[in-house]
Amino acid sequence: MKGSLIWNTQRYSSIFILCYLIYIVSFFISENNINFFTWSNFFLSFETRFITSITFILILVHSFIGLWTVGTDYLTKRTLGFLNKPLARYANIFRNMYSFAFSLLGVVYLLTILYIIWL
Amino acid sequence: MFGNKLQVSLYRYNPEEDKFPYMKKYTIEKPERDIMVLDLLHLLKEDDQSISYRRSCREGVCGSDGMNINGKNGLACITPISSVIKRNKIELRPLPGLPVIRDLVVDMTEFYAQYEKIKPFLQNETTAPEQERLQSPEDRDKLDGLYECILCACCSTSCPSFWWNPDKFVGPAALLQAYRFLADSRDNKTEERLNALSDPFSVYRCHGIMNCVSVCPKGLNPNKAIGEIKSMLHKNKKDIIVSDGV
């Protein structure tokens, strides 16, 4: 995979997340009478649900890139070997376990979010 | 506490004798005039001949005596002790992140391997002119701030990304040189050079920590060069190089 694709994905996803925040904040600013019904109307609209889903998928992608970077920086033979030499032998196992853990968390997170938004 | 005494804490390691590295403390008379850290090492070596370090030109040109001085990388020969001394103490360690051969001497194989990877020479397959390939003054200006690198490794060994992935991340010194050839109007292998750097590690492991800029003894800015390479990688065109360069 091209480094520029990963780099761009992370930057553009953060811009989208910022836009989403502005979208949500603008609701609170523009709406004079905020109560359960106005909030429900706003949040249950197709546009908001769609944008929210995209945003949370992008949060997931953004954090995956960040976590992958952390794993390939700190859970390597070299880095663990700095801490403790025998630990270096298990670096790949640790990194795979770490990747599995955050992938599993990501799937649970995504399913939960989509369930909350759409069902 | 030490009055006119100077306490030097020196990283010592001789793999033939020591199981682990250790810090050895030396106390010497504070020199009357301001001297360089390299001179201080010479004074220590007069008393203890076993101290090992690299040095050559002793004027900041050869880049041999890069070391970690009170926590910051620099060239011992052009660093006055007055600029680094803290409470009459100086701590000298080898460049971080590289394997230590002995005392302050590090194995720079990984550093040079990355330098070799970027093909640090002009590549131009067009027929060479009779005398030389000429450059306009504007094109020549683009190389200022790039060609001056002396490969002392102070920048790369202060970069955490290089510590963690010295085999994959090219590092600030070699990337500065990569841009030096990308920016050179006489080199026409831009696309090949960019393709060789396009993976997620070679350039993109730079997170803009800026340690390289902070420690460069020649006052260069590898981070800016890396930014220029990233711009070129996004567009993969040579014509985006700005004339005011790095």
Instruction: Please give the ipTM for the structure prediction.
Output: 0.84
Interface A-B: count of C-beta contacts within 8 A: 38
What is the pLDDT confidence band of residue B242, given thresholds at 50, 70 and 90?
very low
Question: Quick one: residue B3, left, alpha or beta (phi over 0 = left, psi -120 to 50 = alpha)?
Answer: left
> For residues B243 and B203, is the Cβ–Cβ distance under 8 A?
no
The structure tokens 């090219």 sit at B170
pLDDT of residue B163: 95
What mean pLDDT value characterizes chain B? 93
d(CA B107, CA B137): 39
Smallest Cα–Cα separation from B79: which of B60, B105, B100, B103? B60
Residue B67 has pLDDT above 90, yes or no: yes
Residue B201 has pLDDT above 50, yes or no: yes
The pTM of this model reads 0.89
Task: Please report the domains of chain A, with CATH numbers, ordered by start residue.
Answer: 3-118 (1.20.1300.10)
**How far is B9 from chain A, CA to nearest CA, in Å?**
22
pLDDT of residue B235: 84
CB atoms within 10 A of CB A78: 16
> For residues B31 and B88, is the Cβ–Cβ distance under 8 A?
no
Substitution target from B164, B209, B231 for chain A, most A beta carbons within 10 A: B164
Residue B237 has pLDDT above 70, yes or no: no
Q: Is B9 helix (H, G, I), strand (E, B) or coil?
A: strand
Is B191's Cβ below 8 Å from some Cβ in A? no
What is the pLDDT confidence band of residue B50, given thresholds at 50, 70 and 90?
very high
Element (DSSP H or E) covering residue B26:
strand B22-29
Token pair of B58 as six digits = 């002793």
pLDDT of residue B1: 47
What mean pLDDT value characterizes chain A? 94
Half-sphere exposure of A74 (CA within 13 A, CB side): 8
Element (DSSP H or E) covering residue B7:
strand B5-12
By Cβ distance, the residue of B161, B164, B205 closest to A78 is B164
Is A72 within 8 Å of B199 when comparing Cβ atoms? no
pLDDT of residue B31: 87
pLDDT of residue B121: 97
CB atoms within 10 A of CB A52: 19
What is the pLDDT confidence band of residue B32, given thresholds at 50, 70 and 90?
confident
Comparing alpha-carbon positions, the chain B residue that sits nearest to A3 is B200
Mean pLDDT of B177-202: 96
Is B158's Cβ below 8 Å from some Cβ in A? no
| Residues of chain B with C-beta less than 8 angstroms from the C-beta of A3 | 198-204, 233
